[in-house]
Structure 1
């Protein structure tokens, strides 16, 4: 697997005992300095942009977009051919309206032209290789700079601040990390970021009982979660009539947020539920406003457009369209007018409550739906926790989990000609390593995987009632 030499990757690979020692040694240093200069610079830019006028936002976007297009045209053969074939004269792009003349791209364009989209050597020490699922079930593969982590974290923290979070505050996390068991509790601790990780691969009642007990032992904290994980935990808390008083806010990401689940979770934890939007491609990102559940698009992260079925940009309140993104973060492989397959409703370009000149959307519906596998003990595991973002599914055209028995799952794969038995074994080993005996997995190669009537992929073809295990 191609993984860059970066602080994040090194820290993630460090054994917990070494992390504990490092935490003690580094504790006198402010966390913002430990994270890095890119984090501090990005945080300052975000704060500045919150006060920008609409004219300043538009000027920033135009400058960034012109640079992106010029660099892509000059250095990427795939973009040069795309724009030449469309009759686009790059020098004529002088306004944001001119930018709408550029053709859209999608996952197949990236996958089919990956080597002709690179701005730098893909084998460089600061380049990460990424794969992700997506709406069609076809894995997307691309390259991105490893230094993005500091930048990305600045936006996450800015969104969390709207919920009252301060850098270094305690977080309890239910977001797919594989944790080791200690004294019957599947938990790990990050002393630098002050984060307690619980395993959402282990969500049986006895597991959740231990998580709740540990959560109650913490001082005031924030719960950082997948929406499906916190919903499952909230149902357990409600069932057991347990009272949680120390959670200041729910910080949810990576899956669709459903209004009825939001309302239920807020009632159980008696705090605000904040959601953020983003994706692996790092094109656009948004966090909910302090005053509503509407999403504010960060103007310095990327450029978002909502388009209708004819490809026209939506500017009317109440209309729903597909999210198209142009990212400013990826210095390895530019994504320009990329169709994400996610949808949202247009709200406006100014918030009269927080006074930000941000593009505002709501009711985001993305491809990471809350699909589950059922473990051998009938507890559920979110597909988002299992989804691999490395080279596990290289040479796989499509894949899908099939399940009709708790604790047993079959991975169906449609492959290309390069796929081998060694790769099949690696998929089973990597997925099994995450599931840690909760679910036994096997793999079969199939000719095709059917889409839904709406042309969407179902990543978990589930034939078990996840609420009963039957």
Structure 2
């Protein structure tokens, strides 16, 4: 479904795409903050090393390769714009389309992105677990169409009652149609929207508890929570969270499984230090149970930084 959506905006496999995602960039010590993925024909840029000192290298590489499409978290893109404006840098070619993914945004964000890059901006809503899929259908990227072939979409209120009226905010609940290995039935997300037209299945912009939440790194570098995952350690841990009470430092909170060892702890720390060690000082703490919000939900990011 995602590939159909991308192709509808002219993004075909033969055309180079740029993304900004966290991964192990082996040459970042040598000032190379990107890596080519030949399978997907994508150039991946590191959002963690993007700052006022490195922005010129990013823009130089973009101008060299001229990817026509950006596949990017809104927070990372806005940070890119901030740094480009600060250094008075511009792309020397015309972008075709920017695809915003995994985070919420505002109308002002869309206006700012369109003004700066002078290109089409679109978005979609979906899950790696293949639960639901919605695509933006308006120029202002503020109206979404539910794809009823992909999954069963519901909105529920705080009492878990189904919403079938327009203009009433509720939590998105989804049921898988095609994931036979691990189907999710009435999975309640942390995402909020409202029907604009219940009968035809259109909604307003989708907000989220994940909406542009940042960790504060060294030298005033902000890192979006959507850049992090410890999914490949799930055989050793029950849950993981990040806790920050001062800029430049973060605690990794782990609820371990019974066979979790000191070696596993060192592997996780090594992995996180590879990703963000030059931006955030990491420590790992073991818990008996995760930190919960007042509503009883588990937030991946917990911040207690005082604003002066």
1:253 corresponds to 2:104 = no
The counterpart of 1:404, out of the listed 233, 239, 246, is 246
2:107 and 2:140 in contact (8 A); partners too: no
1:203 and 1:381 in contact (8 A); partners too: no
Match of 1:168 in 2: 14
- What TM-score, normalized to structure 1? 0.59
Query: Hey, what's the Cα distance between the residues in 1 that align with 2:127 and 2:8?
Result: 20
Q: Which has the larger radius of gyration?
A: 1
**Correspondences of 1:331-410 after superposition (within 5 Å):** 331-349=180-198, 359-392=201-234, 394-397=236-239, 399-406=241-248, 408-410=249-251
Distance 1:464-1:362 versus aligned 2 partners, 3 A rule: same
1:158 corresponds to 2:4 = yes
Match of 2:44 in 1: 197
1:344 and 1:364 in contact (8 A); partners too: yes
SS in structure 1 opposite 2:194?
strand
1:203 and 1:380 in contact (8 A); partners too: no
SS in structure 2 opposite 1:363?
coil
Q: CA deviation at 1:404?
A: 0.8
Query: Hey, what's the Cα distance between the residues in 1 that align with 2:216 and 2:117?
Result: 25
1:223 and 1:249 in contact (8 A); partners too: yes
1:231 and 1:265 in contact (8 A); partners too: yes
Q: CA deviation at 1:161?
A: 3.6
The counterpart of 1:303, out of the listed 152, 160, 180, is 152
Query: Hey, what's the Cα distance between the residues in 2 that align with 1:237 and 1:312?
Result: 47
Structure with more of its chain in helix, by fraction: 1
- RCO greater where, 1 or 2, for CA within 8 Å and sep 6 or more? 1
Q: 1:413-452, CA deviations, whole angstroms, 9 ceiling, x for partnerless residues? A: 3456554434333322232232254323111234565544
Query: Hey, what's the Cα distance between the residues in 1 that align with 2:236 and 2:73?
Result: 26
**Correspondences of 1:65-464 after superposition (within 5 Å):** 155-181=1-27, 184-219=31-66, 221-244=68-91, 245-289=93-137, 291=139, 293=141, 294-349=143-198, 359-392=201-234, 394-397=236-239, 399-406=241-248, 408-415=249-256, 419-446=260-287, 450-453=291-294, 455-462=296-303
SS in structure 1 opposite 2:220?
coil
2:97 and 2:120 in contact (8 A); partners too: yes
Distance 1:419-1:367 versus aligned 2 partners, 3 A rule: farther
Query: Hey, what's the Cα distance between the residues in 1 that align with 2:237 and 2:291?
Result: 19
2:75 and 2:224 in contact (8 A); partners too: yes
What RMSD, in angstroms, separates the aligned Cα atoms of the two structures? 2.8
Structure 1: tracts of 5 or more residues without a match = 1-154, 351-356
Distance 1:159-1:290 versus aligned 2 partners, 3 A rule: farther
1:171 and 1:194 in contact (8 A); partners too: yes
2:153 and 2:173 in contact (8 A); partners too: yes
Query: Hey, what's the Cα distance between the residues in 2 that align with 1:330 and 1:195?
Result: 27
Query: Hey, what's the Cα distance between the residues in 2 that align with 1:362 and 1:419?
Result: 43
